[in-house]
Amino acid sequence: MTRREWLQSNPPPKAAGALRTLLTQLEQENTARQLLETNKRTYAQHVAYWNQESANARALGDMVKMNHANAQLADVQAKIAELDRQLAATAGLAARIAALQTELAGAAKCPVHQTDLLRHKNRPDDLFLCEIGPHFFLWTKYGDGARLSKVDLNKPMPDLDGKMDWI
Ligand SMILES: [Zn+2]
């Protein structure tokens, strides 16, 4: 069995570094979404206010005031409709963040520093980088399973298409 074949049946964990970048983006989107929700609550108060103003003006027979209140009401309702449209577009955001956090918990971490590992760009198949070391870890066979092993830079990297014998 070659290393490449072995990797197909023993895929390495995802690199936490890449997942965390995505998570940060989603969390920023979620912060923006929360602002929309705050705005919506504020506009809902405006709706209550202009509804009351309109009713008061109607009771007094003040058509000018009532028309003004109704125009304000329509304006606020249009703003709420636009906010609802934007909120609907990002409705799945919280679930995506939760799923990503679960994925991140199972992602590759440096066995020494317990920090995020990055995929090595020159060898994304099975080589990971810890920026703190900096040091490298290879996803490789260990007993019947697999684990991250520190790379000895004095040895050549095992060939992906060579026989799987590197521990
Ligand atoms: Zn490390």
Ligand 1 centroid from CA 142, angstroms: 20
Average confidence score pLDDT of the chain: 93
Query: Residue 10 Cα, ligand 1 centroid: separation in angstroms?
Result: 23
Residue type, 69: A
pLDDT of residue 164: 79
Residues 23-70 have pLDDT tens digits of 999 999 999 999 999 999 999 999 999 999 999 999 999 999 999 999
pLDDT (0 to 100) of residue 166 = 58
Residue 19: pLDDT over 80: yes
Percent of the chain with pLDDT over 70: 98
In the reported structure, the alpha carbon of residue 109 is separated from the centroid of ligand 1 by a whole-number distance in angstroms of: 8
What's the CA-to-centroid distance between 128 and ligand 1, angstroms?
10
Rounded CA separation 110/70 (Å): 62
The span from the CA of 140 to the CA of 153, in Å, is 15
